[in-house]
Structure 1
Amino acid sequence: MLNHAMTLEPAAVETVFQADADFDLVRAAGRGDSGAFEALYRKHSRRVFGVVWRLSGGQVARAEDLVQEAFVRAWQALPNFRFESAFSTWLHRLAVNTALMEIRSRSGAEDLETGDAALDFVATRDTAGLRTREQLDLERAVATLPERARAVLVLHDIEGWKHEEISIELGMAVGSSKAQLHRARKLLRERLGEDHDRD
């Protein structure tokens, strides 16, 4: 479900053109300019990695694969990109949907928690010391949530999606999305409480 944007009037499209700092690069990449696309990749891959990393439970290799897949899909779709939204918004949504497609494809698998390697990465990823202990504890706890509960939490509480959108993208009822969010928040409280109890 990549195209949630409504069709815009010509004047509104022109406003998006003017506001989108990536316009020239996107237009060139849409015509097959691989150098322009590489520049877009360098500019946006970090943010794309951030969201798919959270959705994948802090699994670095899985997140890197999803980033690559998202950019391949972007390259294929760019010739038809109509600037109905900013490129960064469109790419972010495409990346989220790429991760959600992978989660849906795994829906028959047991709802496993992430392994220690993912948690070690969360603990050490900020070598510049830019994150507080509380932020690292929260990211570590989010990474250990069961997959669908984690996806609902990330989409609802971090990305700002509504339950109706989540239910469509994850193929679940709205009530199930709300239940998964309740479950995720409860597990987070328990795990963060456990972490603090150990201090």
Structure 2
Amino acid sequence: MTDRTLHISAPSPASNTPESDDVAAAAGGDRRAFERVYRAHAERVYSLCVRMLGDRVLAEEVTQDVFVRVWEKLPGFRGDAAFATWLHRVTVNVVLTRRKALGIRDHRTADDEALDQAPSRGESVGDRLDLEGAIAGLPKGARTVFVLHDVEGFTHEEIGAQLGISPGGSKAQLHRARMLLRAALTR
């Protein structure tokens, strides 16, 4: 195992939590601490991967890729942002890289197309309120901001920093996503 050092600049007293201790230990090469970090965040990372990729099997694979990348990059985590924010950014980068490698340009997946061609099961409220399908049908930018804000709980400032857009741009995309979702769910 190689030596690892954690470059965290002047941690505040509030950052001395069991998670920050695990992150610091994992950055130092402690595999058990990394396993605890993995268990604490794997479900959230997987959920984000599913929403961005639209394919559960691929999302499982990419989730593993994310944590491999985190293990490699963790020694460079400086603590300037919350660990969850940094992890989210790593996840988005890995997903975008995978999408590019697979040649996925459109926001729709083969699963979405199959759903479009599936016969209608009736007009119950449950059928019309297919939130997952409606989210998957959003344009890429609006969907990403919607998932980051309304599902993952990031602020517009954090989203702007992660995506390289202004907080106002994030707010505009979120408003657009909500309007499109409302229209899709009331059809």
Q: Is the shorter-chain TM-score for this pair beyond 0.5, marking a shared fold?
A: yes
User: In 2 relative to 1, CA 44–107 (structure 1 residues): closer, same or farther, beyond 3 Å?
Assistant: same
Work out the percentage of aligned pairs sharing the same amino acid: 41
User: In 2 relative to 1, CA 117–64 (structure 1 residues): closer, same or farther, beyond 3 Å?
Assistant: farther
Task: Please give the alpha-carbon distance, in whole angstroms, between the structure 2 residues aligned to 1:191 and 1:23.
Answer: 41
**Equivalence map 1:63-142=2 (5 Å):** 63-103=59-99, 109-113=105-109, 115=111, 137-142=130-135
User: What is the TM-score of this pair, normalised by structure 2?
Assistant: 0.64
Aligned length: 167
- Show the counterpart of 1:191: 184
The letter of the residue matching 1:15 is: P
**Is it true that 1:150 corresponds to 2:150 in the alignment?**
no
Task: Please give the alpha-carbon distance, in whole angstroms, between the structure 1 residues aligned to 2:30 and 2:50.
Answer: 28
User: What is the TM-score of this pair, normalised by structure 1?
Assistant: 0.61
User: In 2 relative to 1, CA 140–56 (structure 1 residues): closer, same or farther, beyond 3 Å?
Assistant: same
User: In 2 relative to 1, CA 42–174 (structure 1 residues): closer, same or farther, beyond 3 Å?
Assistant: closer
26-35 or 95-104, larger mean C-alpha shift: 95-104
How far apart are 1:152 and its partner, in Å? 3.2
CA deviation map 1:126-181 (0-9, x unaligned): xxxxxxx69x7323311233434422332354433357446527xxx999877765
Task: Please give the alpha-carbon distance, in whole angstroms, between the structure 2 residues aligned to 1:110 and 1:96.
Answer: 16
How far apart are 1:107 and its partner, in Å? 7.7
CA RMSD of aligned residues (A): 3.9
Task: Please give the alpha-carbon distance, in whole angstroms, between the structure 2 residues aligned to 1:161 and 1:180.
Answer: 10
Unaligned ranges ≥5, structure 2: 1-6, 116-125
